[in-house]
């Protein structure tokens, strides 16, 4: 009996049995939970005040979603400090005019620290904090 008869799979003489391919998940379980929490935040903020906070050229006045002042990252995605109510036109304007948006306070670089200056009249001091 020849050796190749004993090991037909190794030689590729028998057809391979293909396993059913399992699709890769679109989102992880963690991201699905975060997305549900984010949707709650959006609904809550829009119910609180449905007006656009940015108010640039072509503003529709009614906010349809939230603009991320500091670009989305795991650290800032669910933080309300970095969210502003925005209509579609204003949100697009901020994305198309990044330098003007930074000057007007509608956008912040996620790579640079932010300095906040607070003047405390009781202490007669200037407090500078980095966020």
pLDDT digits (tens, 9 = 90+) for 48-58: 999 999 999 89
Please spell the DSSP secondary structure of 77-131, one letter per residue.
TT-GGGEEEE-HHHHHHHHH-HHHHHHHTS-B-SSS--EEEEEETTTTEEEEEE-
What mean pLDDT, rounded, does the chain reach? 82
pLDDT band at 17 (very low <50, low <70, confident <90, very high): confident
Convert the pLDDT of each residue in 52-101 to its tens digit: 999 998 999 999 999 999 888 888 889 898 899 999 999 999 999 988 99
pLDDT band at 41 (very low <50, low <70, confident <90, very high): very high
């Amino acid at each position: 009996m020849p050796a190749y008869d004993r090991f037909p799979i190794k030689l590729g003489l028998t057809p391979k049995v293909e396993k059913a391919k399992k699709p890769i998940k679109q989102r992880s379980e963690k991201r699905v939970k975060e997305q549900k929490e984010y949707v709650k935040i959006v609904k809550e903020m829009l119910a609180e005040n449905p007006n656009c906070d940015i108010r640039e050229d072509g503003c529709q006045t009614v906010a349809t979603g939230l603009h991320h002042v500091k670009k989305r990252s795991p650290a800032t995605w669910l933080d309300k400090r970095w969210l502003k109510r925005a209509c579609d036109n204003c949100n697009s304007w901020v994305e198309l005019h990044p330098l003007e948006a930074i000057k007007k306070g509608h956008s912040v670089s996620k790579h640079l620290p932010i300095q906040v200056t607070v003047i405390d009249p009781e202490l007669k001091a200037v407090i500078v904090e980095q966020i």
